[in-house]
Amino acid sequence: MMRIKTDQLNKYRENIFFLFLIISASVFPFSEALVSISIGLLLFQALVLQSWNHPTVKWSSSKIVLFPVSIFIVYLIGAIFTTDFSLTLYELKKTVFWIVVPLAVALSPRLGQRKTYLVFFAFILSVTVASFIFTGKLVLNSYFQVAEFRSLSIISHIRFSFQVILSVILLAWLFINRNTIPFKINANVYLGILAWLILFLILLKSLLGIVAFLGVLLVSIVLAIAATKSTKRKVLLSFLIVLTILFPSLYIGTVIKDYYNFEEIEPETVEHYTLSGNLYHHDFEQGLRENGHLVYVYVCDKELRQEWNKRCEIKYDDDLNGYILGSTLIRYLTSKGYRKDSVGVSKLTSDDVELIVKGVTNYKFKNHNFSIYPRIYETIWELDYYRRTGDPNEKTLAQRIEFVKASFIIIKENPIFGIGTGNWVAKYNDAYDRMDTQLDKEKRGSSHNQYVNYLVKFGIVGFIWIVLALLIPVFRLGHRNNFIFILFLVMYAFSNFGDANMETHMGLSFFTFFYCFFLLNSTTQMKKTVSL
């Protein structure tokens, strides 16, 4: 009788853990709050049910989670040297997932093959449904008032792009192994969802997500080359590597060529008066361009203000997404090759006016809701503006360059142990002041590079330990050939160059959840080398 009760309890423990895993995996695309609640419940169920007594929980393997838990201890040690306790408390609160998730998974039962794959399917389904919802919002943008993909997702579009990439990795693996997993799903279903999610990733316009995906793709091809014994396949896959690098490079090159296809204007030959007799303003020093045309030549603010205010309820000097509308109007007129005067405004169609009100700065962006062209073009424009003026404000990549510059000043002065957990605001402000940066004070921040952030806070010693704490468990538990796990780590390895993902709620919760799940619940089949 006692044996029956014990077996029933163990079954109950396993089912409850599985249920909360499904819930956690399903809410990632939709809500940070639900993620916090579901992950908290993961740990709660393990403690209440004393799930470490389940026969599948072996201390020999479970204790490996002490390595990722030690990353939180690094933050605690760094707190000893803090001078800002409120900021330190905030940092510790953000990174508590390093404790909660590893313990929740390690103290819970190990899942069987079928339930492991069901967690994958629940996650893929959730991400796919979210992608359809977001796409529907954009298609019906006149109703939802959505201008672009990046403003669609409830969570950060960058973090959502990582979820899309992991779904692609899982789908690719499941497709390759579809004949051996315990679910019979038509190959076309795998391929259809796979193709859609790759397309959606491009539509999402997260440059960091696309770079991470290309990194994952390149590494996966290299792994495939190593796994196959066929010379023909090796040659074909090597050619695919070339194409993976060549096509994005050519596309970016086309955008750069469009941007720098200059219309030459000599200062001595310009006209100084409009057809109405008003004075033009010409500024050749800034050199900013739209579609090859200089932005700040042939500008008559007086006529622009008068004519625009006659055509639109949103006025020339009104705020539009942090800029005055007039600056968007000037760039848009320039992109069409019009002079910035009453004649130029009169040439605008009602569609042009609508685009300008939406903040569109270039007519080429019309009907580009489903294209990454505008995103790349804007990035080139931002970098060109930053190079010419030194002003990084309101320009994502330019601001990040300033962040990194300040970071290296701090690292140079504190290379071994860093500055501690909660001192970064004061240290960064001091660095920015010494840089004589043009970055507005309210826009100052830490580096959007996770590796640099670790070096700033914990120095070389702390950085090396964090890297080892993540990699040692992977090798100790035999994941060298775990295709899914390795590519998941590769994705984060690339993405962490462009953002401090491990210090954001969704970035860290998502990473720790799947890191620990792959670490302790990967199937034997997942750990095998993929044969091609």
What is the residue extent of each domain of the chain? 2-253+444-527, 268-365
Amino acid at 504: T
Q: What does the pLDDT profile of the chain (532 residues) look like in tens digits? A: 456 678 899 999 999 999 999 999 999 999 999 999 999 999 999 999 999 999 999 988 889 999 999 999 999 999 998 888 889 999 999 999 999 999 999 999 999 999 999 999 999 999 999 999 888 877 776 555 555 555 566 788 889 999 999 999 999 999 999 988 888 899 999 999 999 999 999 888 888 999 999 999 999 999 999 888 888 999 999 999 999 999 999 999 988 888 887 767 888 889 999 999 999 999 988 878 888 889 999 999 999 999 999 999 899 999 877 778 999 999 999 999 899 999 999 999 999 998 999 888 898 887 666 678 888 888 888 888 898 888 898 788 899 999 999 999 999 999 999 999 988 989 999 999 999 899 998 889 899 999 999 999 999 999 999 999 999 999 999 999 999 999 999 999 999 999 999 999 999 999 999 999 999 999 999 988 655 5
In the block, which residue shows the tokens 């080892």? 468
């800034």: which residue's tokens?
286
Residue 212: Cβ within 10 Å count:
27
Give pLDDT tens digits for 352-399. Answer: 998 999 888 898 887 666 678 888 888 888 888 898 888 898 788 899
Q: Pairing between strand 289-290 and 293-294?
A: antiparallel
User: Could you tell me whether strands 319-320 and 289-290 are parallel, antiparallel, or unpaired per DSSP bridges?
Assistant: unpaired
Q: Which residue has the tokens 């969704």?
A: 506
Would you state the pLDDT for residue 150?
56
Instruction: Tell me the three state secondary structure of residue 33.
Output: helix
CA angle (109 as vertex; 104, 111 as ends), nearest 5? 110
Instruction: Determine the pLDDT at residue 321.
Output: 72
Q: What is the pLDDT of residue 349?
A: 93
Single-letter amino acid, residue 74: V
Distance CA(203)–CA(47), nearest Å, equals 43
pLDDT score at 1: 45
Q: How far apart are the first and last CA of the chain?
A: 50
